[in-house]
Structure 1
Amino acid sequence: MDFVLPEFNAPNFESHAFISSPNVHTEEVIKNGVAPENFHATTIFPEYFKINNKWTLANNSRMDCVVVVSDDGLEVKEFRKLIVGDRVIVGRNEDATQGIYVHTNGFQSERQSDETFVFRTGRSRETSFSRDYDRLYELLRYEKDNGYIVFVLGPAVTFDQDSKKAIVSLIQKGYVHAVLAGNALATHDLEGELFKTALGQDIYTQVPISKGHYHHIDLINKARQYRSLEEFVIQEGICDGIVYACLKHNVPLILAGSIRDDGPLPGIIPNAYDAQDKMREYTKKSTTVLGLATQLHTIAVGNMTPSYQVVNSSIRPVFIYSVDVSEFVVNKLRDRGTLGATSIVTNIQDFLVNLNRNLH
């Protein structure tokens, strides 16, 4: 089955409500990093602003930011990036009455049941995900050549030989356009290549190895002799694994530091805001995001990613998936504002193996 993107239903700006509405009001920033009172905060949805009697969509949006008006148009800015003189849109009404319109129903969706009382409407371990898998396969086949697929990976991906092989295979096949992760993902991936363990356990048998608890810190210590992960991989003769595959196939690997990191490895971005800015370079381009077995990184990336993307002057949806064995984790992303996310409750190793087997 060929995948077809949902059509975008734009607002009818010829209607009286939009024509009669005022232009947006702005106020200037008077202290760096501080927005004027009554600022408008962005959502995950497409947002339009009336400027000089014309409705304009904010591109490259993200949740919980402000919109700055300049001679070049609209810019969605984090609060910390505001500078004195920025003209920030103010107003809390989102129904066009203040020149601000948040379009929550822009994309067509499958017909929902008209029944007022039904069972099993949540996403839990009892949910059947067969249709979700099939739709994901169709989506990724389309996105491989027509979109930008970002994987957000937790270290559990590296704890099993088959799941490691699966993600490496997906990279080789072209289904991974960028990887966002932390120190642990790269550490245990490289530990697996040098020692065949992850956190001291054999990555196939799961049997703890004698003195295996030293392996990940031995790996970090050895890697820190080098200026970069690329130099480390070359000099140590590593020729497989996730890090190697990303380097070989020119897939950006963005590794954000954490307060709990060991070492860390060379190439980790230690400053949280620098890491956020680097990750944003790729969430701005993303059309599909898959967050796998990492609660914090998935929520962070979800909050940086809007529900839409402007590609070749057309508005299309951004698809976000949260996959974890914990119902709490997959549903927390939605609770934190990423309302369009699809949750799949399953063991991450099984998910990746299934994904790879069905994508060629």
Structure 2
Amino acid sequence: MSFSLRGYTPPDFTALNTAPEAVLQGAPKDGVAPAGFHAMSIFPEYFHIEGQWRLAKESRMDCVAVWENGEIAVREFRRLKAGDLVVLGRTERGEEGIFVHGTGFHEPGQHQDLFAFRQGRSRETAFSRDYDELYELLRYEKDHGKIVWVMGPAFSFDSDARSAFARLIAGGYVHAVLAGNALATHDLEAAYLNTALGQNIYTQQSQPNGHYNHLDTINAVRYHGSVAAFLREERIDNGIIHACETHHVPYVLAGSIRDDGPLPPVYGDVYQAQDAMRDQVRDATTVICMATTLHTIATGNMTPSYRVLSDGTVRQVYFYCVDISEFTVNKLSDRGSLSAKGIVTNAQDFIVNLRKGLGL
């Protein structure tokens, strides 16, 4: 099976040659959009301005379009400055100079009955074909794209899962990691004390006073001043974070209210964390979210369904959600990330299977 990107079919604007220009209005004050603003989606969106249909090159759902320096900038409300020229309009088919193109990556479909069983994706779905497609996609993206992984702490609880993901990092299949304090804490705990949340990562047996282990780990990292110094001084030679540091893969740790410590690199300011996550997502071409509901939804909401490459080519962004809970997989679609593909399985088994399928 050889992989090739799905082609993009741009809109046919000949039928919209009489469409009006998009209406622009200055933001009334910093952080506030004018009434009637247009909110962005995950799809390619074009705006009729100064006689041309212009594509927003870097998009994000629930943000606004700003006409600036001859281009469409997509901006969070908190980043608006008074006077920014914001696009107004609530229609999507050209009536107000706005065209939302939701079918650009559709392939000619095979015949499908209107009524058919098992069209959704659930624990009953056979995902073997998804694995085959994912192997080929990752091999392609390793050299031609950017693969961003969004991870919950489940991977740090099992030695095989930690090892499998570390091999993916070493093999070049990981270009950035988005996670929270817990993943990094328990991964470092596993490397430091062979436990995660006090349980042995090989036997799953709780250790005496094991509930101190993650706190001792955090305290040791804070003592050394950085994760890199901790790894060096404590001679840590395994795990997910060790692999990221060794292979210079950036990782963003977004903090939460319940964090212990936290580790030094954790972002305590939610908007700084959001900015750091978006910096990694803005040029991602494949995103794989595993075993974390909130980080998955957060990343899904800032990931469009397309990317405009440096040569102007529009390509698809592939988005996977892997979770043992159907709720998480379905919730992502409910929140607007309609292009996400769900795989309902144990995320630890998923990553081990992925490692084997890639021959690592």
TM-score in terms of structure 2 length: 0.98
The alignment status of 1:7 with 2:7, answered yes or no, reads yes
1:226–1:266 contact (8 Å) kept in structure 2: no
Match of residue 346 from structure 1: 345
Moved over 2 A (4+): 108-114
Distance 1:109 1:354 in 2: 29
Match of residue 61 from structure 1: 59
1:182–1:255 contact (8 Å) kept in structure 2: yes
The alignment status of 1:24 with 2:22, answered yes or no, reads yes
Indicate how the Cα distance of structure 1 residues 233 and 107 shifts in structure 2: closer, same or farther if over 3 A, else same.
Answer: same
Distance 1:212 1:111 in 2: 55
Match of residue 236 from structure 1: 234
1:321–1:342 contact (8 Å) kept in structure 2: yes
Deviation at 1:97, TM superposition (A): 1.2
State how many pairs are aligned.
358
- When the two chains are superposed, the root-mean-square deviation of aligned CA atoms in Å is 1.0
Alignment of 1:206-355 (within 5 A): 206-311=204-309, 312-355=311-354
Alignment of 1:175-190 (within 5 A): 175-190=173-188
Deviation at 1:116, TM superposition (A): 1.7
Match of residue 89 from structure 1: 87
Describe the superposition over 1:129-158 as per-residue Cα deviations: whole angstroms up to 9, x where unpaired. Answer: 111111111111111101100000100011
Distance 2:247 2:69 in 1: 40
Match of residue 73 from structure 2: 75
Match of residue 34 from structure 2: 36
Distance 1:215 1:278 in 2: 29
Distance 1:326 1:167 in 2: 21
1:198–1:216 contact (8 Å) kept in structure 2: yes
- Structure 2 runs not aligned, ≥5 long: none
Deviation at 1:166, TM superposition (A): 0.4
Match of residue 155 from structure 1: 153
Describe the superposition over 1:324-351 as per-residue Cα deviations: whole angstroms up to 9, x where unpaired. Answer: 1111111111111100101001011110
Segment drifting more, 42-51 vs 215-224: 215-224
Amino acid at match of 2:5: L
Deviation at 1:112, TM superposition (A): 4.3
Distance 1:326 1:73 in 2: 41
Describe the superposition over 1:258-307 as per-residue Cα deviations: whole angstroms up to 9, x where unpaired. Answer: 11100100111110000100111111010000001010001100101000
Deviation at 1:124, TM superposition (A): 0.9
Distance 2:129 2:218 in 1: 41
Deviation at 1:165, TM superposition (A): 0.5
Distance 1:74 1:116 in 2: 39
Deviation at 1:110, TM superposition (A): 6.2
Amino acid at match of 1:11: P
TM-score in terms of structure 1 length: 0.98
Distance 2:235 2:268 in 1: 27
Alignment of 1:84-163 (within 5 A): 84-109=82-107, 111-163=109-161
Amino acid at match of 1:260: R
1:48–1:57 contact (8 Å) kept in structure 2: yes
Deviation at 1:237, TM superposition (A): 1.2
Amino acid at match of 1:40: H
Q: Percent identity?
A: 55
Amino acid at match of 2:221: A
Distance 1:255 1:308 in 2: 25
Give secondary structure in 2 for the equivalent of 1:224: helix
Amino acid at match of 1:193: A
Segment drifting more, 270-279 vs 116-125: 116-125
